[in-house]
Amino acid sequence: MPLHKGPGEPESEAEPNRRLALNPFYGLANPVGGMTEAPPRHRLPDGPLPPMSAYQLVHDELMLDGNSRLNLATFVTTWMEPQAGVLMAECRDKNMIDKDEYPRTAELERRCVAMLAQLWNAPDPGAAVGCSTTGSSEACMLAGMALKRRWAKRNADRYPGSARPNLVMGVNVQVCWEKFCNFWEVEARLVPMEGDRFHMDAESAAALCDENTIGVVAVLGSTFDGSYEPVAEICAALDALQERTGLDIPVHVDGASGAMIAPFLDEDLVWDFRLPRVSSINTSGHKYGLVYPGVGWALWRSPAELPEELVFRVNYLGGDMPTFALNFSRPGAQVVAQYYTFLRLGREGYRAVQQTTRDIARELAERIEAMGDFRLLTMGDQLPVFAFTTSDDTARFDVFDVSRRLRERGWLVPAYTFPANREDLSVLRVVCRNGFSADLAGLFIEDLRLLLPELRRQSGPSTEDRGAATSFHH
């Protein structure tokens, strides 16, 4: 279907008795009166509806979406405390961009940036610059823009005349990086998967760099299998490249998920601003930052990494407030919720929550492996995420059959094929988030165990088109 092109009005909606599909209670106060006609679905109604009637009609359709708590495909937060929901409701009418009109909301954003700068070991947390975004996708766009602009200034004698900028990253990056390269006319240089290596390695990254490379993107937590890319090794390889060639290639860490896991659970892992080559980091507040969608964060090591001409300034309490964003109007609710969560949990609270999700992921992975029908690719010991495929001697069903049958029981588990050079590998992936308790994990295992006998009796996999079956690999 073309973008933003909706279907035409079905003929059935013009039939007089379509109103019979509506509960008489949805009409006026007297249920005997009922509703004389059903509102159209794809054009504006001729007149208004009572608020409760409109609510019930929309509410009933949304019931078909399924239960977000059983969605093991999404990384996005699906549970918060009621107090956070109250705060978000109180702030949904505040426009985040109007910092001079909502100075306290702006102050909470500034505090969150300072907290993240300290969490990610910025050399001088007070000097680090950053901003909130609608999510990691916008944060990645902003980081990429900064990389390109810095490269363009260094190569003003060649660009845009003869030089074409490129960005080096693994083929496992989130689709927002492909969008960035497309929208901002940057060549995407992708390191393919090889064998049991499902993300970018340091040697391959350095080999793709040249004088037109604006940066290297290292992913702390691949969405394909939950694994961390070796950020320190990548930086070391680029250090060696600079010694040999003089090329000074910055690194951006896409920590959409891992940047809110590693600081609490992998404190000895060096991946952040402790590495001088890391110029910027992004994360999703609405993933393992534990906030409802949508909020993300982008931080730069210092003002030197963020070109001044990209920053717009507004008056803030008679002072100067810099802003850097692609979106303009958006609610302040998610930023307030992020500050609430930082305040509510602190370091130890975050550590407890993230450790719980990792423990559940690892136990769940072990129990799935013990069934004998599956082979684990990852164990959930980095991101609380793991990928698995069918075992070598399982021939009667495939991962797409499993995904389809689990959906019948309410579970959304993605099945997809890996990218180049491992298109031969199809996997299932489970994302464990806060709110996916050990009890729910036990129910998931029980449902998986109950459907296996029927799958084992199949004559063979029922998936004819794997391309069409692939889903949820975001």
- Residue 257 CA, chain-centre distance (Å), reads 7
pLDDT at 11 over 50: no
When pLDDT is averaged across residues 162-188 and rounded to a whole number, the result is 96
**Confidence (pLDDT) at 20:** 62
**Confidence (pLDDT) at 313:** 75
- Residue 60 CA, chain-centre distance (Å), reads 28
Q: Which of 40-49, 155-164, 272-281 has the highest mean pLDDT?
A: 272-281
pLDDT at 291 over 60: yes
**Confidence (pLDDT) at 191:** 97
Return the amino acid letter for 206: A
> What's the CA angle centered on 277, arms 155 and 307, to 5 degrees?
45
d(CA 41, CA 11): 12
Beta bridge partners of 71: 412
**Confidence (pLDDT) at 473:** 47
d(CA 457, CA 379): 28
pLDDT at 312 over 70: yes
The residue that leads in pLDDT, 66 or 238, is: 238
- Residue 57 CA, chain-centre distance (Å), reads 30
φ and ψ at residue 298, rounded to 5 degrees: -125, 130
Q: How confident is the model at residue 356 (pLDDT cuts 50, 70, 90)?
A: very high
**Confidence (pLDDT) at 468:** 55
Give yes or no for a contact between 312 and 305, defined as CB atoms under 8 angstroms apart.
Answer: no
Instruction: Give CA separation, 302 vs 15, 140, 308, 383, 474, in Å.
Output: 64, 17, 12, 28, 31
**Confidence (pLDDT) at 1:** 52
pTM score, whole prediction: 0.91
For 32-46, 96-110, 159-173, which range has the lowest pLDDT when averaged over its residues? 32-46
Q: What is the mean pLDDT of the chain?
A: 90
Is the sign of the CA dihedral 455, 429, 268, 264 positive or negative? negative
The residue that leads in pLDDT, 142 or 9, is: 142
Q: How confident is the model at residue 284 (pLDDT cuts 50, 70, 90)?
A: very high
Portion of the chain with pLDDT greater than 90, in percent: 74
Contacts of 206 (CB under 8 A, 6+ apart): 234, 237, 238, 240, 241
- Residue 188 CA, chain-centre distance (Å), reads 20
d(CA 357, CA 436): 8
Q: How confident is the model at residue 64 (pLDDT cuts 50, 70, 90)?
A: confident
**181 DSSP 8-state letter:** H
**Nearest residue to 339 (alpha-carbon basis) of 102, 115, 80:** 115
The residue that leads in pLDDT, 60 or 215, is: 215
Q: How confident is the model at residue 239 (pLDDT cuts 50, 70, 90)?
A: very high
What's the full length of the chain, in residues? 474
Cis peptide before 160, with omega less than 30 degrees from 0?
yes
Both tokens assigned to 449: 């165990």
pLDDT at 4 over 80: no
For 15-29, 32-46, 276-290, 396-410, which range has the lowest pLDDT when averaged over its residues? 15-29
Place of tokens 């019931």: 63
